[in-house]
Structure 1
């Protein structure tokens, strides 16, 4: 029962400290507005059609890019898991590319793709790709040998073993990568919108900050944070029917 109240209590403590610091003048209210001022800006945003249009643009870019990155990453991981030579060939490439931040590609891609949907999706997919690929490929490579050998003794082909044994066993770890990719998708989307401008929550928060509209900026930061929490909650709900067997199995083993 106490676990249900830990996160709300932590948030309440944070808000109380914020209000105290702002109200006592420790930090100027010009840069750290009172909670009532931020709340008023939040209500104004929620009642604005323009805000919802920008919100929809961010959500569309984030979700489409995340789905595209997961599909590409799982496809590469499956091929790499089936053919170890391909995995070894990709390892030095992935080690280099995963260390390269997505915004670093912006100067090159803006000349190749121009300012348009392709630029957004390419940068965001690039950022989301690596956590899912690395988690899935590592999980596939470390499949339980007993399970693989047992399946092979029953006459299953290598591809049948991949689909029926190795991939289901790798899903729990792969979902960890997917959740990391989901967080990156929101960060990359907002960062790209701040760089490119136009529409989206990133553009709104950039314009608010450089217009010295601090209450609007903090309200948008709260919305983006809440969006990330909601996305993580949805992914956890999707994960349960697919990989809940692992958590139930772990709980059963711990109980015994």
Structure 2
């Protein structure tokens, strides 16, 4: 219970500040409803069949796109760490692509992929893969020299060193990159649904905003934030199961 006290206090403080801003009247209630009004709208959404038809679609698109981004980013980072030619060839491309916002590539992607699942998965994967790649490549590039020299002394080949030394040592930082990519992928999913979708939380957000249903818009923004929290917790649990040794070692050193 103790680990939830501080986050709950922070959440309550944020809601209090929000409500204080509403009470001051500087922003009309039509555009910034109170916390209680948004909560009522959120309950209404949770009771509606439309919400439960669209929420799973957003979660599915984000999850599949995230898995694709992690697989592609990790795989490319391993090749980049193993072969200097791959790293040099990818460096300018990565610096350019990671600067492009997901919404900017939606129109061209529609012409190439049409309006369907392929479009959403491409946009989501494109958004997350660069964060995964940069984090994984940086982690693999900073392998401990003593470990590498020890493996070479024992006669390990280049790929054996990669799989048995460099990747295990870099895995905590690589999974941190995957955690950062969660937000990118969820933002990309909602942006794509707003611009090119006919369903999903992003489409519901777009529809409620442009029909001036402000309370529903805020409620759906809360849902999007909770979705990000759920994905973040899923990655944290995966990290805890895969690199438990790292956390135990860190606690031992700190003690």
Q: TM-score range by the shorter chain?
A: over 0.9
CA distance in 1 between partners of 2:248 and 2:128 (Å): 29
Given the alignment of the two structures, is residue 28 of structure 1 paired with residue 44 of structure 2, yes or no? no
Aligned residue pairs total: 255
1:45 paired residue number: 45
1:139-158 pair list within 5 angstroms: 139-158=139-158
Give the CA deviation at 1:3: 5.9
Q: What TM-score does the superposition give when structure 1 sets the normalisation length?
A: 0.94
Q: Which runs of 5+ in 2 are unaligned?
A: none
State the SS of the aligned residue for 1:32: coil
1:14-93 pair list within 5 angstroms: 14-93=14-93
Q: Retained in 1: the 8 A contact 2:124–2:188?
A: yes
State the SS of the aligned residue for 1:99: coil
Q: Deviations over 1:183-241 (max 9, x none)?
A: 11111101111111300000001110111101100110111111111211121111012
Moved more, 108-117 or 197-206: 108-117
CA distance in 1 between partners of 2:116 and 2:162 (Å): 38
2:250 paired residue number: 250
* RMSD (Å) for aligned C-alpha atoms: 1.6
CA distance in 2 between partners of 1:46 and 1:29 (Å): 23
Give the CA deviation at 1:244: 2.6
Q: Deviations over 1:75-101 (max 9, x none)?
A: 101111111221111111111111122
1:1-256 pair list within 5 angstroms: 4-255=4-255
CA distance in 2 between partners of 1:55 and 1:126 (Å): 22
Give the CA deviation at 1:131: 0.9
CA distance in 1 between partners of 2:189 and 2:200 (Å): 9
Give the CA deviation at 1:2: 6.8
Q: What TM-score does the superposition give when structure 2 sets the normalisation length?
A: 0.95
CA distance in 2 between partners of 1:44 and 1:193 (Å): 22
Q: Retained in 1: the 8 A contact 2:115–2:197?
A: no
Q: Retained in 1: the 8 A contact 2:106–2:196?
A: no
Give the CA deviation at 1:64: 0.2
State the SS of the aligned residue for 1:205: helix
Moved more, 23-32 or 73-82: 23-32
CA distance in 2 between partners of 1:132 and 1:24 (Å): 43
Give the CA deviation at 1:150: 1.1
Q: Deviations over 1:105-127 (max 9, x none)?
A: 12221111122111111111000
